[in-house]
Structure 1
Amino acid sequence: METRSARRRRLSAQGGVGGGLDLIGGLHDDLLLQILGRLRCAAAASRTSALCRRWWGSGLWRHLPELSFRGIAHGAIEAALAQVALLKLSLLDIEITDRLPAEAVASLLRAAARLDPADLSIVVAWVVQTDEMVPIEVPSFPRATSITLRLHKLHLALPAQGVEFPVLERLSVTSGRFDTGALISRCPHLRVLELIHCWGIETITVHSPTIEELLVISGQLRGVDIVAPMLKKFTLRSDVSVDFGMSLLAPEVENLSWKCWSHGQFLLPGESLAVGIDGIWRLVRLELGTGRSGFILGLDIGRSYCVLQERNLQEMFPFPKLSILELCLDTRGHVYGGVVLNLLRICNAIQRLRLVINRDMWKDEVCPPDCPCDQPQNWRSQNISLMGLEVVEIKNFKGSGHEVDFLKLLFRCAPLTKVTVKLAPKVVPNSRGCKNVLKVFRGNPSADCHVYLKRGNEVIYRPASRCSRR
């Protein structure tokens, strides 16, 4: 019987097991192309030459319908592209981590266009910046159905003479600068558009009869202008300026996901301009999402020390019909009933309200009698129609006079069926504020009302029909 060591010596003498035996070199070209094609990456495919001498020698790789170049120097990629024999690729995927001048990127795009791929992805991690960045032309890709361009801070120009991308369905651009409206007008069949950190674009303009999905991730925007009758999904992640405005004409949209921050605008040292929404209050963050029961709006609102530019949220954002409103208020000890009431006027079709009061004893201020936070004072006696509102949850409730007044207003304006109050730290069951809350709840026996201590697992009140008071 041949021992293992003897077998290893025999195979080594024949050229196998590290000796260079070509185990697949005798395969037919078509079968070999299928094997090599599954490797996808040209760098990985080139490593098979240690086993298959025909791979580079006969130029077999030049006939692959899908080519991927990753982890390869730019010069080697350009040289390889010049040798490709198949001029209508299914896929061309290029990722370069070298620092490249803009001219090299332009040359790379032209080389890619010669191969006319159906699916194109070009990622250049770093482009050498100069004082004057001349726009580089994106050539036509007449067969491309999907194009992904991640080109570090490049100014892109469209082909001259109105050349179109006739069958392009998906376009993703990261970190480029270009005229969005002009580009979209050249793509008559575009369905999916992704604009990710595209610099130098203050207003996103998307007018398209075919777009179904839109993703925008950006720095500070001044505006969004969308006319898209087929749009189904719109995702937005951006900081917004104080004069931001959105126009959205998309009757078929069913999935909205917005996360917008308002960090303000620097004016002078120690002074900035912020989006004011009601008196002393400023918008910090807005989030709109799609849930099972409909659209959910989340707002972070804070006491502002900035110069405020008063804005109407409905002028800034075209809200759909909302089902849930989630408010996070950094009150600094101020009265919040008036501002919440005004927000409820905007969102008067909601079915659920969740209110979280941020409490920080070190940040609370002394609210003077004439503080603008409590203006107009007649908010306590006002009535608005909230006929859809049934469920309310309030967290960090202290039971202050104005908070109890707000609770009474909700019971008066809405057919509430369930109200949950979680008390703020250090508020105990026998405190005056807690007793006032319990009094309001007992006066509305038709609602399922609960009061919890801060830790949230100890119920100090629930309707008598369900459990006697502890």
Structure 2
Amino acid sequence: MWCLYRIPHTRAKLPPLAPLWVLLPELHFSGETKPQSIRCALAAHEAPALHRLIVIVVNASTDSVASWLPVAARRLSGDLRFVNIASGRNDATTRNEAGPFDLPCFESASSIKLDLGLGWLGLALPPSGVFSCLTNLYLRHVQLYGPCRLGDVVSSPRCPVLRRLAVRDAWGLGNLTIHSKSVLQMELNSLYDLQQLTVVAPALQELTVSSCFDNVCRSSQPVVNISAPQLVMLRWSDAFNPSSVELGNVAHLESLDTSYFLVYGPDEVASNASCLMMLSQFKAIHHLNLNLAYMPDIFSNDRYLIEDMTRLPGVTFLSLLMMANGHSFGATLFHVLRMCTGVRKLALEYLEPFQPQTVCPSGCICEQLPNWKTEELVLGGLQEVEIVELTGTEHEAAFVQQLFRWATVVKKMTVSFREGFVCS
């Protein structure tokens, strides 16, 4: 924001002008800015309000952050973004050697985004105060210290207007309990020691839970209780068992994303079991997103696990994310589609392989399922097809050709190709 000042035409001696930056509503600090310089700049700032503060530093220490953050809390009335670009190793021997820094209560901030970097700076939350204007809170790469818990801070008594909450790559959250009347969107991703999760959020519409319960060996199952009667979108890429995960009333749910499903593999695949148990909770859903993956190498004793998927909810919009790793996948998609014959829209996206693309070896068991090309399938309601990241392989061409035999009333077809694709 720029302001134009009209200086009157006079020969009188004018007082010295303050630097223009002290009047600006936004301050950005980056690179090698010293923490004392940030503190001094905030103290010298003279604008009526500081609407945005962005600080991007390298290898910040606990003391360096603590030197300017309290001043920022008193001045800021808008957005705070702090990013620490850390080059240290991310392991238990290097995290938090200097202890945590205290996060002050930002009474007037509307958005706080903290990415403490792979150095895993420790963070202690304020035991008192109300974030009365905070609508957006984003935490990443944090080690949280007590005694104040994150759930206490983000619940309605201390964050009365919070709308969006995202926590990624965090330690120190063994028990997370959130009671929020205002939150609409919540993302919990890679909370490494989470054992108990309780969310009571009557206005919550979108919930993402990913890699919180399936990345650490545990002696007992985590306990999850979600009460969100207005939930319309659920992304659950995590361990799921209805005996320990209570979703409550989700009668308004319209969209569901599940954990990935491994097409070939050994008998026991945890993510497959979680996916199937999650799908069994719903009779019908508008938009279902399935993630199907082939490992680069399929062995002769691997089982065709997709056959364990015997039913799907009634679906009108089906999204399939396919990571084929060079293998034939037509039979797998045929198996899925014959459980969704009422689908009206199909979106198929080809994901990047785990490793550089290789040719499926001759005699691979993925080619031993030919019936999908001859069995009858009628997709009489399918009107729209979208294919993303097409690469032009023979397996892709075979499936697309067969798809148009099954779906004869398609009205709209959208295809996008992966970068570097050359049509021959």
TM-score category (smaller protein):
0.5 to 0.7
CA contact (8 A) 1:202 1:222 kept: yes
Matched, 1:163 2:160: no
The SS at the match of 2:4 is helix
Bigger fraction of residues in strand? 1
CA contact (8 A) 1:296 1:326 kept: yes
Describe how 1:217-296 pairs up with structure 2 within 5 A. 217-218=189-190, 220=192, 222=195, 224-238=197-211, 240-241=213-214, 243=221, 246-260=224-238, 294-295=255-256
Cα distance, 1:175 vs. partner? 1.7
What's the Cα RMSD here?
A: 5.2
CA contact (8 A) 2:182 2:203 kept: yes
Matched, 1:109 2:99: no
Bigger fraction of residues in helix? 1
CA contact (8 A) 1:154 1:177 kept: yes
CA contact (8 A) 2:96 2:122 kept: no
Report what 2:40 is aligned to. Answer: 79
Matched, 1:31 2:31: no
How many residues end up aligned between the 2 structures? 329
Describe how 1:433-452 pairs up with structure 2 within 5 A. 438=374, 441=376
Report what 2:285 is aligned to. Answer: 322
CA contact (8 A) 2:188 2:212 kept: no
CA contact (8 A) 1:236 1:258 kept: yes
Cα distance, 1:103 vs. partner? 1.6
Q: Which amino acid aligns with 2:111?
A: S
Report what 1:377 is aligned to. Answer: none
Identity %: 23
Closer, same or farther in 2 for the Cα pair 1:416/1:177, shift >3 Å? closer
Q: Find the partner of 1:146 among 111, 115, 130.
A: 111
Q: Find the partner of 2:331 among 367, 379, 397.
A: 397
Structure 2 CA distance for aligned equivalents of residues 359 and 80 of structure 1: 53
Q: Find the partner of 2:180 among 185, 190, 208.
A: 208
CA contact (8 A) 1:244 1:316 kept: no
Structure 1 CA distance for aligned equivalents of residues 303 and 78 of structure 2: 60
Which entry has the higher C-alpha Rg, 1 or 2? 1
Structure 1 CA distance for aligned equivalents of residues 187 and 378 of structure 2: 47
Structure 2 CA distance for aligned equivalents of residues 175 and 234 of structure 1: 20
The SS at the match of 2:42 is helix
- What TM-score comes out, normalization by structure 2 length? 0.58
Structure 1 CA distance for aligned equivalents of residues 313 and 373 of structure 2: 24
Q: Which amino acid aligns with 1:169?
A: T
CA contact (8 A) 2:259 2:274 kept: no
Matched, 1:184 2:162: no
Closer, same or farther in 2 for the Cα pair 1:55/1:328, shift >3 Å? farther
Q: Find the partner of 2:309 among 340, 346, 350.
A: 340
CA contact (8 A) 2:79 2:110 kept: yes
Cα distance, 1:184 vs. partner? 0.7
The SS at the match of 2:314 is coil
Report what 1:304 is aligned to. Answer: 266
Report what 2:30 is aligned to. Answer: 70
CA contact (8 A) 2:267 2:305 kept: no
Q: Which amino acid aligns with 2:26?
A: E
Structure 2 CA distance for aligned equivalents of residues 396 and 163 of structure 1: 58
Closer, same or farther in 2 for the Cα pair 1:151/1:257, shift >3 Å? same
Cα distance, 1:151 vs. partner? 2.5
After superposition, the C-alpha distances for 1:332-383 in whole angstroms (9 at most, x for unaligned) are 5535476222xx2xx343468879897999xxxxxxxxxxxxxxxxxxxxxx
The SS at the match of 1:397 is helix
Cα distance, 1:233 vs. partner? 2.1
CA contact (8 A) 2:195 2:213 kept: yes
Closer, same or farther in 2 for the Cα pair 1:171/1:319, shift >3 Å? farther
The SS at the match of 1:198 is strand
CA contact (8 A) 2:137 2:164 kept: yes
Structure 1 CA distance for aligned equivalents of residues 29 and 63 of structure 2: 19
**Any gaps of 5 or more consecutive residues in structure 2?**
7-13, 89-93, 243-253, 345-359, 382-393, 410-424
Deviates more, 1:182-191 or 1:242-251: 242-251
Cα distance, 1:297 vs. partner? 4.5
Cα distance, 1:191 vs. partner? 0.9
